[in-house]
């Protein structure tokens, strides 16, 4: 039964992502804002919903390894497999100045995460924790990010061409398509995570390994199918904006909300994974700034990097 529900979840994710990209890109045009802003906000928040659900529930139930591993594993998966496959299918153009600022912001958020985790090294404590105050700091960083995005959106609207009446009539249809797509993504993501986790535990995998791999991959499937769908539709700014925005939301919102609700203990093994996440984010920044595009070759390299990481994690655990 778990395998059947897993398949249903995959179908919902794929069709939901297709609707979500169509609806959100149309809303971007109706709002007269660049698609990148929709990718960084609405699409990114929507596709981060499974991560938020899983990590918050895991933190409340005391499964700290799952809560942190889900965030770190999802971000690594997004940078390598999601960007890699999307770029391999259709080279991702990095035309907007926004994306060149957002990737450094993702890098900053990752470094802040490493700093707040390092209680033993920096403060001499007996254990490493992400405390409630750390979570509140993450959420305050998120407010700064959202203010910056909204300000950019308002500025771009001032310079936009007024849409005609025919376009305005499409509001209801596009909002409905977007909401249906988002609902299918969230429900499909939940089905995939729940049933993939049951299958993984039945195979005797550890909690840390499940968090970094099965759950991380499962909760990142919305980002994967949404970005691939956007890339195939040549909406490269939504594809890349979704990935970058999702990684920011995963750290600042998902981890921030989880630790604000209940402090999270940090497993020593996770420090290596966070360091790998920071390194991969820096590589993504280099790729984005080189020729302002991420092509097939870069995409293949990123995908291969995840295969190497996956082998390392499985052997380590």
Q: What is the pTM of this model?
A: 0.83
Residue with tokens 């939940």: 190
Identify the pLDDT of residue 108. Answer: 94
162 vs 236, higher pLDDT: 236
Q: Which residues contact 108 (CB under 8 A, 6 or more apart)?
A: none
Distance between CA 134 and CA 261 in Å, rounded?
11
Domains of the chain: residue spans and CATH:
2-316 (1.20.1420.30)
C-beta of residue 37 within 8 angstroms of C-beta of residue 95: no
Residue 160 pLDDT greater than 70, yes or no: no
Average pLDDT of the segment spanning 274-302 = 90
Distance between CA 185 and CA 188 in Å, rounded?
5
C-beta of residue 251 within 8 angstroms of C-beta of residue 109: yes
Mean pLDDT is highest, among 13-17, 36-40, 173-177, 306-310, for 306-310
82 vs 293, higher pLDDT: 82
Identify the pLDDT of residue 136. Answer: 95
Identify the pLDDT of residue 267. Answer: 87
Give the chain's mean pLDDT: 83
Average pLDDT of the segment spanning 53-57 = 80
Distance between CA 127 and CA 125 in Å, rounded?
6
pLDDT band at 162; cut points 50, 70, 90: very low
129 vs 223, higher pLDDT: 129
């Amino acid at each position: 039964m778990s395998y059947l529900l897993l398949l249903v979840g995959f179908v919902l994710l794929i069709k939901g992502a297709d609707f979500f990209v169509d609806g959100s890109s149309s809303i971007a045009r109706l709002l007269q804002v660049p698609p990148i802003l929709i990718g960084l906000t609405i699409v990114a928040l929507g596709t981060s919903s499974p991560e938020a659900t899983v990590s918050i529930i895991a933190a409340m139930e005391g499964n700290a390894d799952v809560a942190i591993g889900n965030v770190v594993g999802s971000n690594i998966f997004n940078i390598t497999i999601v960007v890699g496959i999307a770029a391999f299918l259709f080279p991702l153009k990095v035309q907007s100045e926004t994306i060149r600022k957002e990737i450094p912001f993702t890098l900053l958020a990752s470094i802040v995460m490493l700093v707040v985790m390092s209680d033993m090294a920096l403060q001499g404590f007996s254990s490493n924790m992400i405390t409630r105050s750390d979570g509140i700091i993450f959420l305050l960083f998120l407010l700064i990010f959202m203010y910056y995005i909204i300000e950019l959106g308002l500025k771009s609207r001032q310079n936009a061409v007024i849409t005609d009446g025919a376009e305005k009539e499409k509001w209801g249809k596009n909002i409905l398509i977007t909401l249906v797509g988002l609902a299918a993504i969230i429900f499909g993501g939940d089905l995939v995570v729940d049933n993939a986790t049951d299958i993984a535990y039945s195979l005797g995998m550890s909690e840390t390994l499940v968090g970094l791999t099965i759950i991380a991959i499962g909760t990142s499937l919305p980002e994967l199918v949404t970005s691939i769908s956007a890339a195939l539709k040549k909406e490269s700014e939504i594809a890349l904006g979704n990935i970058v925005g999702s990684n920011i939301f995963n750290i600042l919102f998902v981890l921030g909300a989880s630790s604000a609700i209940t402090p999270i203990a940090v497993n020593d093994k996770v420090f290596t994974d966070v360091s790998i996440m920071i390194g991969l984010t820096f590589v993504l920044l280099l790729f984005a700034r080189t020729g302002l595009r991420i092509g097939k070759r870069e995409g293949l390299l990123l995908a291969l990097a995840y295969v190497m990481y996956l082998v390392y994690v499985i052997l380590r655990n």
